[in-house]
Amino acid sequence: MATKTPLQEKTEQLEQAVTDVKTKVEGKVQDVKAKVEDKVEDVKAKVESKVEAVEVKLEEVKEKAAEQAAQLEAEAKEAGASFQEQIRQLKEDFLVRFNDFRDKFTLSQDDLIELKELVKIEFASIAEEFSKLSKEVKEDVSQFSSKHKEHVAETLQRTKTNAVEAWHKVKEVDEKKTTEGEPVKKEKETEEVK
């Protein structure tokens, strides 16, 4: 066996040192890679659970909106029925009053003129009652509409906020994944320089 020259020994030592460093770096890279993958999976699972929670909340909000819409519709129908009942009562009252007036008068010319004036007064009062009733109905309808608009606006705002939060979480995970990959490269470059 030939004896090794000092240059050959140094070369072998350097090759062995390079191999050792390379093995250590590869081991560290694998460890860091495994940790990063675990963290990414954890964050991904958390984000997915938050997205699912947002979807569940969205469904709940939709259900509540549907319930409130049904409730508002029921209130509107009830108000409409009340309005129809009031109109029916007005008609009935008018007919009763008209029959009373007709029975009181003998159909002379003066009585007809007086009846005409009374009918005008009654029609004016009925028209006034109808206008009051119409205003009340308009107010009720506008209240129903404003309640519904407010609820829908709140629902949309909550949904938007939840979706934006979920998006930011996903974006943060993606940015962390990108930035965590860079230290591994720098560490590898540092080890190679040594």
In a domain, 6, yes or no: no
The proportion of the chain whose per-residue pLDDT surpasses 70, expressed as a percent, equals 89
Q: With a cut of 70, say whether residue 156 has pLDDT above it.
A: yes
pLDDT given at position 191: 53
Q: In one letter, which amino acid is 60? A: E
Residue pair 62/130 in contact by the 8 Å Cβ criterion: no
Q: Residue 7 corresponds to which tokens in the numbers above?
A: 């240059």
Burial of residue 45 (CB within 10 Å: 0-12, 13-18, 19+) is: exposed
In a domain, 152, yes or no: yes
Q: With a cut of 80, say whether residue 52 has pLDDT above it.
A: yes
Q: With a cut of 90, say whether residue 55 has pLDDT above it.
A: no
194: pLDDT confidence band, cut at 50, 70 and 90?
very low
Q: What is the mean pLDDT of residues 34-62?
A: 87
Residue pair 167/54 in contact by the 8 Å Cβ criterion: no
Q: Residue 171 corresponds to which tokens in the numbers above?
A: 């974006």
Which domain covers residue 141, as residue numbers? 15-182
pLDDT given at position 176: 74
Q: In one letter, which amino acid is 14? A: L
Q: What is the mean pLDDT of residues 129-146?
A: 82
Using CA atoms, how far apart are residues 87 and 126, in angstroms rounded to an integer?
10
Instruction: Look over the chain and give the mean of its residue pLDDT values, rounded to a whole number.
Output: 81
Task: Say what angle helices 109-193 and 6-104 make with each other, to 10 degrees.
Answer: 180
- Where would I find the beta strands (DSSP E) of the chain? none
Taking only the tens place, the pLDDT of each residue in 65-113 is 888 888 888 888 888 888 888 888 888 888 888 788 777 766 677 777 8
In a domain, 189, yes or no: no
Residue pair 3/170 in contact by the 8 Å Cβ criterion: no
Q: What is the mean pLDDT of residues 129-145?
A: 82
In a domain, 177, yes or no: yes
Using CA atoms, how far apart are residues 179 and 166, in angstroms rounded to an integer?
20
Coil, helix or strand at residue 139? helix
What's the total number of domains in the chain?
1
In a domain, 4, yes or no: no
In a domain, 22, yes or no: yes
In a domain, 65, yes or no: yes
Q: With a cut of 50, say whether residue 192 has pLDDT above it.
A: yes
